Structure 1
Amino acid sequence: MSPIDDRLHPYYLHHSDNHDFVLVSQPFIGENYPSWSQAMLIALSVKNKLHFIDGSVPKPNSSDFVIYNAWMQSAFDIWNDFKDRFQQSNGPCVFQIRRQITNLAQNQDPVGVYFTKLKSLSKELSNYRPHCSCGKCGSEGLKKIDEYFKTEHVMNFLMGLNDLFSQTRGQILLIDPLLAINRVFSLVAQEEKQKLISNYTQNDNSMAFLAKSK
């Protein structure tokens, strides 16, 4: 079977693979290179075309006209040109985002607002994490790495919560395995709601007592 007809081969083109197809929704504007490149890597990986930009597909022999004409040397060159021109040292960016996460605390914000702020910073930080394109990393290893980052997200969220939620935080930390971040947020938000209802009830009772006293 020719590689062009093999659905599992990078040379295979689906009928939807054309020049008008948009791989990522965000346009490339230079300063968004980290997030844009991460989105492109994911999109190309889904399309099984990642090998054309990482150099893992060897240049075919010119005698094989069909494959040679499908060769994407320009894709490899353009990708590396963009990388050289727009990729800056990750150190200062990662340091700045991590410092913002470390200093982030709930303070006077509702839990939902605080959670959204942390989620935005965590997503920005994820753009600087290395993306495996070698195809040799085992699924179990990748799963453990993913679990580590998810645990880190949960820990950052719990550390920034007000002491008002210390009991709920302690109960969550005792759960093994640790709950997913959305579940943790749901539990804390539920506790916040209960505390607000309790405060309203106490205020109403206080007002009623004062009214009777008069």
Structure 2
Amino acid sequence: MVVAYTIQIDQHDPLLIHHFDHPSQSLVSTPLNGDNFGSWRRAIVIALESENKMGFVDGLIPKPTDSTKLSLWKRNDSIVRSWLLNSVNKDIVTSVIYSSTATILWEDLNSRYRQQNGPRVFQLKKEIFSCNQGLMSVSHYFAKIKSLWEELSDFQPPHSCTCAGVKPLLEYLHFECVMSFLMGLNENYSHISGQILLRDPIPSISRVFSLMVQE
């Protein structure tokens, strides 16, 4: 006699598999090609967090010892691995397809492509330094320099400390971002730029952009 049983899964449990969690789907519109790891990684993290599956790649959802949940964990892990494989170029797929878990696959890609941090950080800072509005609209220029800053910030180690000492560092990074944006604007924005520089504290980068658009 075979006894059937079901596992009750809370709707917020990452082990829950929805009907739309299909293994053939890709998580990003632009696959990893080796040169776009920073932006690709960021897009993957956002997608996995929205699916409540990030724990399968960062190791926060380890393989359970409970046999009743082990099969479900394996299904989830296989789905996440499929998503990652569908989100990289074919020439990269062949080198990670035999990864036994999503965490191993993820760590392989990270160790392989994040080791190029030095050259990429150098290139990003060089692009930020030389970035200026030129013939671009303010909106286009803002989007370009903001994307450079955000990719650069992704290379910084996470701040595990929540003490007050971190606040000045974050404020200084914000200050640098605003300064680089203002420095690259065309001369006809110099008046409003001067007014912004006199403010204390300096407005957020989004607020600065809003003021420029209104000018």
TM exceeding 0.5: yes
Task: Among all aligned residue pairs of Structure 1 and Structure 2, give the percentage whose two residues are the same amino acid.
Answer: 44
Q: Give the deviation of 1:98 after TM superposition.
A: 0.9
| Matching residue within 14, 20, 29 for 2:18 | 14
**Is contact 2:7-2:68 (8 Å) kept?**
no
Task: Tell me the equivalent position of 2:124.
Answer: 97
Within 5 Å, which residues of 2 pair with 1:147-166?
Answer: 150-162=174-186, 164-166=188-190
Q: Distance in 1 between matches of 2:33 and 2:58?
A: 22
Within 5 Å, which residues of 2 pair with 1:128-147?
Answer: 128-130=155-157
Q: Distance in 2 between matches of 1:17 and 1:98?
A: 39
CA offset digits 1:44-86 (Å, max 9, x no partner): 122221111112223222xx33311123361112112222333
Q: How many residues align?
A: 183
**Is contact 1:94-1:125 (8 Å) kept?**
yes
TM-score (norm 2): 0.65
Give ranges in structure 2 of 5+ residues lacking alignment.
Answer: 1-5, 78-99
Give ranges in structure 1 of 5+ residues lacking alignment.
Answer: 192-214
Q: Distance in 1 between matches of 2:150 and 2:122?
A: 15
Task: Tell me the equivalent position of 1:197.
Answer: none
Task: Tell me the equivalent position of 2:67.
Answer: 65
Q: Distance in 2 between matches of 1:55 and 1:187?
A: 43
Task: Tell me the equivalent position of 1:205.
Answer: none
Considering Cα pairs closer than 8 Å and 6+ residues apart, tell me whether 1 or 2 has the greater RCO.
Answer: 2
Q: Give the deviation of 1:164 after TM superposition.
A: 4.7
Cα 1:80–1:116 shift into 2, 3 Å: closer
Within 5 Å, which residues of 2 pair with 1:198-213?
Answer: none
Q: Distance in 2 between matches of 1:122 and 1:188?
A: 19
Q: Distance in 1 between matches of 2:168 and 2:52?
A: 24
Cα 1:90–1:147 shift into 2, 3 Å: same
CA RMSD of aligned residues (A): 3.6
Give 1 or 2 for the bigger CA radius of gyration: 1
**Is contact 2:132-2:141 (8 Å) kept?**
yes
Cα 1:144–1:117 shift into 2, 3 Å: same
Within 5 Å, which residues of 2 pair with 1:1-214?
Answer: 5-61=9-65, 64-71=66-73, 72=77, 74-106=101-133, 108-109=134-135, 112=138, 114-130=141-157, 150-162=174-186, 164-191=188-215
Q: Give the deviation of 1:39 after TM superposition.
A: 1.2
Which stretch of structure 1 is more off in the superposition, 147-156 or 69-78?
147-156
Q: Give the deviation of 1:145 after TM superposition.
A: 8.1
Letter in 1 for 2:149: S
Task: Tell me the equivalent position of 1:196.
Answer: none
Cα 1:124–1:57 shift into 2, 3 Å: closer
Q: Give the deviation of 1:97 after TM superposition.
A: 1.1
